[in-house]
Structure 1
Amino acid sequence: MHKGLTEASYSARMIRVIDHVYAHLEDDISFDRLAEVACLSPYHWSRIYSAMRGETIVATIRRLRLQRAADRLANSQVDIATVADRAGYGSTDTFGRAFRNAFGTTPAAYRENGQHAAFRNANAAGDATGFPVSIVDLPERRCASIDHRGSYMEIDRAMARLFAELVARGALPAQQEMIGVFFDDPELGPEEDLRSRACMLIADSVALDAPLTETVLRGGPYAKLSYTGPYAAMPGAYRWLLGVWLPGSGHEPDDQPVFEAYLNDPRMVPQSELRTDIHLPLKKRVP
């Protein structure tokens, strides 16, 4: 069989596994069922997954469940016992230990004092100086991209598909710069209708075909908020950037979507050390 077709086939199988995990994240996930989804031997599929994805399937499920739990702790009033149960943990003690290992703090302490709380307090106080924002001028850049519809917290599904499609084509760049582009205000409409796009910077010479599309990030000035911490706190970061920093900055936003540049990999570093640059497009100032 042609090597490219083999890689495409295996990549497609791993994408089906990821999609199944997301669809059943709050259910009991059978590894035998995942082998069926992957159309691979139960003896070997998990090793293939680990080799291709860079983490075990157990680590993926745990990471995604805890990421969703952190989102509920930061952005809802759901009680911790319910959060633990929905994350697949039989007791709050077991959940607490797993959460501390991933986030460096207990669920209760995270809800009270996590990065989302710092943005919430800055929003309430109207403090426009508490977080690092710089004005940067970026060149126009070309990306390979795949659309995502649904929760912004699940854009990793499109990221995984994008990565796999580029690998199957032998088009994965040596330096992978992952970017998320977000088109809708998550506070204005239903979560299932939110539109976003997973992107990776790519050379002009690389041809793109379906399901990959081309996205061109516009050149010009941006306000860059350098954020460190879990993705679950990002809604508060956006509220602060747009509601506190921007009105006092002397700048006006351009009619283009915000994008996020992901500087490290959630599979490789603790949630508390995730680094993301949030880019708000600005209009050029008239001299």
Structure 2
Amino acid sequence: MARLQTQASYQDRLARVTDFLYEHLEDDLSFDRLAEIACLSSYHWSRIYTAMRGETIAATVRRLRLQRAADRLANGDLDIALIATRAGYGSTDTFARAFRDMFGQAPAAYRAAGSHAVFRAASAAANAHGFPVSIDTLAPQRCAGIDHVGSYMQIDQAMGRLFAELAARGRLPAQPAMTGVYFDDPDNVPETELRSRACLPLDDELAIEAPMVETMLRGGLYARLNYTGPYADMRGAYRWLLATWLPASGYEPAEAPILEAYLNDPREVPQSELRTDILLPIERAS
């Protein structure tokens, strides 16, 4: 029990660091300040973070800043120089090199021709068969969840908290199958009010206690769109699935939220190789 409590304490400290990063991602970040938030020695805390989170704190900051930059490029018209500044880069050239390393394209090329643009073109052409969609029947699945309110691009903040809660109880699977549940339409709900939930399926009767939320994922028919690419581009995939594929499919949306099943880890693969199943709950049209 003491060992689990100690592990829970470390996980909680690092979760506080992650929360601080999201709140101050565009500020100057002091490693000494992060050590204070973690309540750990300034000599050792960053090595503890790397050992427990699988990437250095510098890599986490860089990844989160560039993901936010990609979202702005794919889904807005903010000037690239300003995006670079907000991502913490002193010049557009330095930003472009870092962005290309992570996303495989320069910022301007990504804005013009990233995967979001491919889905946008398919939607404009009313091409309902441009991307593979399968119809699958899924069993109901009991999950532990952590709620998140705010940008969908930041749901991994809730995922980190969920990992910490399960790890503290010694119940974190060796290969956790993460699922995101998305309750609101980001085109109609302010970003600060978007509701989502990070979920992890459980195979046993583990008691699910606060701040975790017991969640039963709906069983039944789903349209599965296999998406490969940056999370920032997925809004275009959603629009194609809902506006182009669905009306031509012979199905109607069911009364349940869309799910995302994450098939690999952004800490381990390039953004262009991230794989996600977008799962739209459906029923046969009457």
TM-score (norm 2): 0.98
| Structure 2 match to 1:59 | 59
- How do 1:253-268 residues align onto structure 2 when only pairs under 5 Å count? 253-268=253-268
Structure 1 residue runs of 4 or more that deviate by more than 2 Å after TM superposition: none
SS of alignment partner, residue 146 of structure 1: strand
Instruction: Deviation per CA, 1:23-74: give whole Å up to 9, x if none.
Output: 0100100000000000111001101111111100000000000000000000
Which residue is 2:271 aligned to?
271
Shift of 1:204: 2.9
Q: Structure 1: 5+ residue runs without aligned partners?
A: none
Offset at residue 173 of structure 1 (A): 1.8
Secondary structure of 2:153's match? helix
Distance 2:81 2:242 in 1: 34
Match of 2:12 in 1: 12
- Distance (whole Å) between structure 1 residues aligned to residue 235 and residue 137 of structure 2: 24
Match of 2:196 in 1: 196
Q: How far apart, CA to CA, are the structure 2 residues paired with 1:190 and 1:79?
A: 22
5+ residue gaps in structure 2? Answer: none
2:82, 2:43 → 1: CA distance?
A: 35
Partner of 1:215: 215
In the alignment, is residue 161 of structure 1 matched against residue 157 of structure 2? Answer: no
Structure-2 residue corresponding to 1:252: 252
Q: TM-score, normalised by structure 1?
A: 0.98
Paired residues, what number? 286
Name the CA shift for 1:121/1:285 in 2 (closer, same or farther; >3 Å): closer
| Residue 105 of structure 1, CA deviation | 1.0
8 Å CA contact retained: 1:13, 1:39: yes
One-letter amino acid of the counterpart of residue 219, structure 1:
G
Give 1:4 shift. 1.3
Q: Is the 8 A contact 1:149 1:195 kept in 2?
A: yes
Whichever residue aligns with residue 47 of structure 1, its letter is R
Deviations 1:110-163 (A, max 9, x none): 011100000111111111111111000111111110000000000010011001
Which position in structure 1 is the counterpart of 2:116? 116
Residues 207-254 of structure 1 deviation map (CA, whole Å, 9 limit, x = unaligned):
211111111111111000000000011111111000000000000110
Matched AA of 1:201 = P
What corresponds to 1:138 in structure 2?
A: 138
- Measured in 1, the distance between the counterparts of 2:263 and 2:152 equals 18
**Could you say what secondary structure the match of 1:252 adopts?**
strand
1:171 match: secondary structure: coil
Q: CA deviation at 1:79?
A: 1.1
CA-atom RMSD, angstroms?
1.0
Deviation of 1:285 after TM superposition, in Å, equals: 6.3
Contact 1:183 1:258 in 2 (8 A): yes
**Counterpart Cα distance in 1 of 2:130 and 2:10:** 46
Contact between 1:221 and 1:282, CA under 8 Å: does it hold in 2?
yes
Segment of structure 1 superposing worse, 206-215 or 269-278: 206-215
Contact 2:73 2:111 in 1 (8 A): yes
SS of residue matched to 1:67 = helix
Name the aligned partner's letter for residue 49 of structure 1. Answer: Y
Q: CA-to-partner distance for each residue in 1:183-227, whole Å, 9 max, x for gaps? A: 000111211110000001111322211111111111111000000
The one-letter amino acid paired with 1:135 is I
After TM superposition, the structure 1 = structure 2 runs for residues 1-40 of structure 1, keeping only pairs within 5 Å, are: 2-40=2-40
